[in-house]
């Protein structure tokens, strides 16, 4: 896919892969248009300076008070012991893994 992207740009040019963001979840790519920007982008990601945002549509009932619109989920993330390519959220209080925080905001109920 990366080899095809340059030709899809209005002005074809080489792209430089910095990172595959959340490969297990979405497969998003972080690309630089110039080689001199690839290393600073990678450093920013390594230092936690980049913020990621996602939009999801979900069905069902949220297990939170009806007036709660902002949620925070704090769990540790570790490799899946059955498939090291995947990651899993560890149960509350479990040792190991890396801390992870997911912030959620309910924009509107799905009717």
Residues forming beta bridges with residue 29, ordered by sequence position? 20
The residue to which tokens 């069905």 are assigned? 59
CA 73 to chain centroid:
14
Of 22, 46, 74, 80, the catalytic one is 22
CA 7 to chain centroid:
26
Q: Under DSSP, is residue 27 helix (H, G, I), strand (E, B) or coil? A: coil
Helical (H) or strand (E) element with 6: helix 5-8
| 22 labelled catalytic | yes
The H-assigned helical ranges of 35-110 are 35-46
Active-site residue list: 22
């Amino acid at each position: 896919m990366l080899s095809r992207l340059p030709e899809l740009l209005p002005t074809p040019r080489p792209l430089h892969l910095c990172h595959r963001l959340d490969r297990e979840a979405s497969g998003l790519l972080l690309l630089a248009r110039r080689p001199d920007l690839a290393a600073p982008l990678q450093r920013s990601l390594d230092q936690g300076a980049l913020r990621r945002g996602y939009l999801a549509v979900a069905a069902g009932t949220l297990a939170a008070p009806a007036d709660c619109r902002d949620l925070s989920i704090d769990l540790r993330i570790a490799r899946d012991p059955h498939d090291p390519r995947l990651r899993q959220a560890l149960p509350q209080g479990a040792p190991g893994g890396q801390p992870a925080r997911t912030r959620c905001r309910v924009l509107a109920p799905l009717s």
